[in-house]
Amino acid sequence: MTMKTILAGATLAASLSTTAFADDPTKVGFIYVGPVGDGGWTYEHNQGRLAVEEEFGDAVETVFVESVPEGADAERVMQQMALGGADLIFTTSFGYMDPTINVAEKFPDVMFEHATGYKQADNVSVYSARFYEGRAVQGHIAGQMTESNVIGYIGSFPIPEVIRGINSAYIHAKAVNPDVEFKIVWAYTWFDPAKEAEAASVLIEQGADVILQHTDSTAPQAAAQAAGNVVTFGQASDMAEFGPFPRVSSIIDDWAPYYIARTQAVMDGTWESTNTWDGIGAGMVGIGEISDAVPADVKASAEALRDSLASGEYHAFTGPLNKQDGSAWLADGETADDGTLAGMSFYVEGLTGDIPQ
């Protein structure tokens, strides 16, 4: 067979496949920062994708690319997906913000949804979950579970979302345990099990007996399990395989309802650029089963806190609160507005150390 016949065959096949898919299923693309098997953040986004497939069956076709680095590569992958005929693309990490905006400009007919960012455009929506509500519950439990009064926190990148989580956890740990102290290590990665494990061991060595993580792998859970007497919380996903101890509860992201609603909107032609920020109340943030390793009274008060956050009668950032430098932030009874929260770049009073620039 000559090169010519091969090429002709390939062209024929290509044109056949285009006709076959011409008027058909809505194509939904997903771009993930880690592998779908990370057991945390990306795993839950992929569960959302599977829920979309289940809901619409043959009416949708989903594609995904995993472990896409944040940066220039992300832009190439998005472009490829848009060229491949995707109608709606979910870009599921903070670092995809600028690439998403850039690619969206080139493809005005493709709808984009960027998770956890703040830059919107006519065809770019942003969506996120109020993870800090979950962090409040974590802090509440952590403050009472710690015996050394040292809580270790593995941060990923110093961005508002992570800083919000640290502040929320600290405020609620401090409320139940005035002696509590936070040790924060920045890993500068969302997913690097070796580094996360190392960071967890270091925090444990320095006296932390509760580890909170804002990175995506289960490596810190394994490190805590090996240490024996250290409490952890599942991050993004339930991580129930490490329960009932060291994992005593978790923050679960539930993206499925949102992904289904947005896919439906594209199908109906009613899609508009929106800014969605839902919390426990709307079901986007779930609190994983609090295990029996937690004393019953702590569990009950944590559940009460969860419910009051869900109903909206209590806000996780309620004054009086000062910033780290001692300057006043929220007056007594005042709650933080979404604008301040979205761009949060300061620690609250009591936290030590500087936020890296």
Residues in touch with other proteins (CB under 8 A): 35-39, 43, 67, 152, 183-186, 188, 191-195, 197-199, 201-203, 205-207, 217-219, 222, 241, 352-354, 356-357
Question: Least distance from C-beta 5 to other proteins, angstroms?
Answer: 31
Q: Please give the Cα distance from 63 to 57 (Å, whole number).
A: 14
CA distances to 20, 172, 327, 329, 346 from 340, rounded to whole Å, are: 49, 19, 15, 10, 10
Choice between 74 and 266, CB closer to other proteins: 74
Question: Least distance from C-beta 193 to other proteins, angstroms?
Answer: 4
Choice between 338 and 354, CB closer to other proteins: 354
Question: Least distance from C-beta 93 to other proteins, angstroms?
Answer: 17
Question: Least distance from C-beta 185 to other proteins, angstroms?
Answer: 5
Question: Least distance from C-beta 330 to other proteins, angstroms?
Answer: 26
Question: Least distance from C-beta 46 to other proteins, angstroms?
Answer: 11
Amino acid symbol at 40: G
Cβ(25)–Cβ(61) below 8 Å: yes
Instruction: Locate the DSSP E strands across the chain.
Output: 26-31, 60-65, 88-91, 111-115, 124-129, 150-155, 181-186, 210-213, 231-234, 247-253, 275-278, 285-288, 321-322, 328-330
Cβ(132)–Cβ(177) below 8 Å: no
Closest listed residue to residue 254, CA positions, set 270, 266, 238: 238
Cβ(238)–Cβ(250) below 8 Å: yes
Q: Please give the Cα distance from 46 to 247 (Å, whole number).
A: 22
Q: Please give the Cα distance from 82 to 90 (Å, whole number).
A: 11
Amino acid symbol at 235: Q
Choice between 163 and 203, CB closer to other proteins: 203
Choice between 98 and 198, CB closer to other proteins: 198
Choice between 95 and 279, CB closer to other proteins: 95
Q: How far is CA 322 from the centre of its chain?
A: 27
Choice between 27 and 214, CB closer to other proteins: 214
Question: Least distance from C-beta 194 to other proteins, angstroms?
Answer: 5
CB atoms within 10 A of CB 99: 23
Choice between 37 and 71, CB closer to other proteins: 37
Choice between 9 and 37, CB closer to other proteins: 37
Question: Least distance from C-beta 356 to other proteins, angstroms?
Answer: 5
DSSP for 75-132, written as a single string:
HHHHHHHHHTT-SEEEE-SGGGHHHHHHHHHH-TTSEEEEES----BTTEEEEEE-HH
Choice between 128 and 217, CB closer to other proteins: 217
